[in-house]
Amino acid sequence: MRAERVELEVVRTPSSEESGERPVASERELSAIVTHMWENAETLVRAELDLGLKELDIRVDKLKQSLLMASIGGAVLYAGVLTLVATIVIGLSKVMEPWIAALIVGVLVTGVGAAMCMRGEKKGEEAVKPDEHLHRTTRAMKEAFK
């Protein structure tokens, strides 16, 4: 983004009482300056929006990479948990019938998993709950631009 410096030149013109005319040239200069400022402001806003979108794209790409790594880690973790569960079943089968050991371990693991799912669902609902502050700000901005 290039920054332009606008210098204003103060021009002494006879007052309208002295000359009997309106200072048309200075009004044109002022309108040109205002037009120029408006165009620069528009360019600046567009450039800032483009920059914001590029930064958002970079963050989304990083988030994708993180989610991919977490997913792969979760799959490996799941395999490890299954192995540990099988080990517990085999260990308990030395003390009791294998089907009873598998049933006990299955019920315990299912109960823990269900409890974790319910807790995660509750936290997920809290996370996507609408932000009242954001809604107030959005409404205020809409009203300001009407």
Is residue 141 over pLDDT 90?
no
Burial class (CB in 10 A: 0-12, 13-18, 19+), 141: exposed
Residue appearing with tokens 């109960």? 111
Could you read off the pLDDT of 9-31 as tens digits, one per residue? 544 555 545 555 555 556 778 88
Tell me, yes or no, whether 144 lies in a domain.
no
Q: How many domains does the chain have?
A: 1
Tell me, yes or no, whether 141 lies in a domain.
no
Could you read off the pLDDT of 103-131 as tens digits, one per residue? 999 999 999 999 999 998 888 887 777 77
Tell me, yes or no, whether 7 lies in a domain.
no
Tell me, yes or no, whether 118 lies in a domain.
yes
Tell me, yes or no, whether 56 lies in a domain.
yes
Structural domain of residue 38, as residue ranges?
23-129
Tell me, yes or no, whether 10 lies in a domain.
no
- pLDDT score, position 84: 95
Tell me, yes or no, whether 136 lies in a domain.
no
d(CA 146, CA 144): 6
Tokens of 102: 């598998």
Tell me, yes or no, whether 36 lies in a domain.
yes
